[in-house]
Amino acid sequence: MTEVPKEPFVSCDLCVEVNTLALKTCLKCEVSMCAQHLQTHLTTPVLLQTHPLTNPVESGSSSQMASKCSAHGKLLEYYCLTDHVLVCMSCAIEEEHRLHNMKTLQTAHTELSVS
């Protein structure tokens, strides 16, 4: 019988007294949150729009680092259609990608998934 690997247990970074299971990680805040602490991100419109949430990742993990620009340390929020790479805001407006065709990650994912 083949055993299915279990998801790693990621603790809520804001629960200091107990080890509570984190449900999501905010890539902007770089914090993993349990159901209670996640509520603010889910009910505050500005946070919901500007703080991307992902499945929980441990602080400092390679998957968390992969969501940051290696040149600027900022979130990779855009997809450069010209070069087919993820870029941060600084790369998109100041660097080599500034005149390229860009999409937000969400829009690019939706459009490229359909085609």
Q: Which tokens in the block code for residue 67? A: 């969501």
Report the alpha-carbon distance of residue 85 to residue 8 in Å, rounded.
29
- Residue 62: the pLDDT is 47
- Residue 60: the pLDDT is 57
- Residue 115: the pLDDT is 57
54, 27 contact by CB (below 8 A): yes
User: Comparing 99 with 59, which gets the higher pLDDT?
Assistant: 99
pLDDT surpassing 90 at residue 35: yes
Q: Which amino acid is at 28?
A: K
Q: To 5 degrees, how large is the angle CA 9–CA 73–CA 20?
A: 20
- Residue 51: the pLDDT is 83
User: What predicted TM-score, i.e. pTM, was given to this entire model?
Assistant: 0.56
pLDDT surpassing 60 at residue 75: yes
Taking residue 65's Cβ as centre, other Cβ atoms within 10 Å add up to: 11
